[in-house]
């Protein structure tokens, strides 16, 4: 178990599941299919009626079709279960606003600007926020490969994953070891004593 054992006894009340799958298409594009479900462990009264235990409160889908540069070329959204039928499940067309965005360039900020608040569904918009890293995993080793790992190829592009997380910062030990061409030694900050000399 990756987390420490919980100390007090506890009872499961809610399960949220996010499932994301990446598919290579025969036309050279990629589909990133995402599903979010919320299920209560007990009957729960909501304004639209009682939702029975084990019945999804939310069961929402979002598909982004992207090119090899991670630009969205098509979007599909669907709502199989929602708390307010006839209301929540009418927002799918708004997600066409994602077409043209790139998953690696201001995507999260652009999603929030285009679909935040009442402009979108809280759950679909939240799920969209995790798709950039899922798409990277889908394309890794196929589209991106391990480019730029060695010093031999002067035309190699900088690996897209560098400087996108703590472990793969260009002044870190992992980059020094696995991507030496792209390693940049950290700049030592001057101490007040050194600055006064």
Domain locations in the chain as residue ranges: 14-139, 146-187
User: Which of 180, 132, 136, 139 is closest to 161 using CA atoms?
Assistant: 136
Q: Classify residue 104 by burial, with Cβ atoms within 10 Å: 0-12, 13-18, 19+.
A: middle
Q: What is the pLDDT of residue 196?
A: 55
Q: What is the pLDDT of residues 34-57, one digit of tens each?
A: 999 999 999 999 999 999 999 999
pLDDT of residue 157 exceeding 90, the answer is no
Q: What is the pLDDT of residue 169?
A: 93
User: Which of 55, 108, 63, 64 is closest to 83 using CA atoms?
Assistant: 55
Q: CA 26 to CA 121: how far, in whole Å?
A: 31
Q: What is the pLDDT of residues 67-93, one digit of tens each?
A: 999 999 999 999 999 999 999 999 999
Q: What is the pLDDT of residue 132?
A: 95
């Amino acid at each position: 178990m990756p987390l420490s054992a919980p100390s007090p006894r506890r009872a499961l009340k809610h399960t949220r599941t996010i499932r994301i799958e990446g598919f290579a298409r025969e036309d050279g594009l990629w589909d990133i299919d995402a599903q979010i479900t919320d299920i209560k462990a007990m009957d729960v009264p909501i304004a639209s009626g009682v939702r029975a235990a084990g019945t999804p409160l939310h069961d929402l889908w979002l598909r982004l079709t992207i090119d090899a540069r991670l630009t969205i070329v098509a979007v599909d959204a669907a709502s199989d279960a929602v708390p307010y039928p006839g209301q929540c499940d009418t927002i799918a067309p708004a997600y066409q606003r994602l077409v043209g965005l790139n998953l690696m360039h201001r995507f999260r900020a652009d999603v929030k600007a285009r679909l935040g608040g009442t402009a979108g569904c809280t759950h679909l918009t939240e799920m969209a926020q995790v798709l950039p890293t899922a798409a990277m995993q889908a394309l890794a080793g196929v589209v991106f490969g391990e480019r730029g790992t060695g010093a031999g190829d002067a035309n190699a592009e900088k690996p897209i994953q560098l400087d996108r997380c703590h472990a793969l910062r260009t002044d870190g030990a992992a980059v020094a070891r696995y991507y030496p061409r792209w390693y940049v030694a950290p700049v030592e900050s001057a101490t007040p004593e050194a600055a006064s000399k």
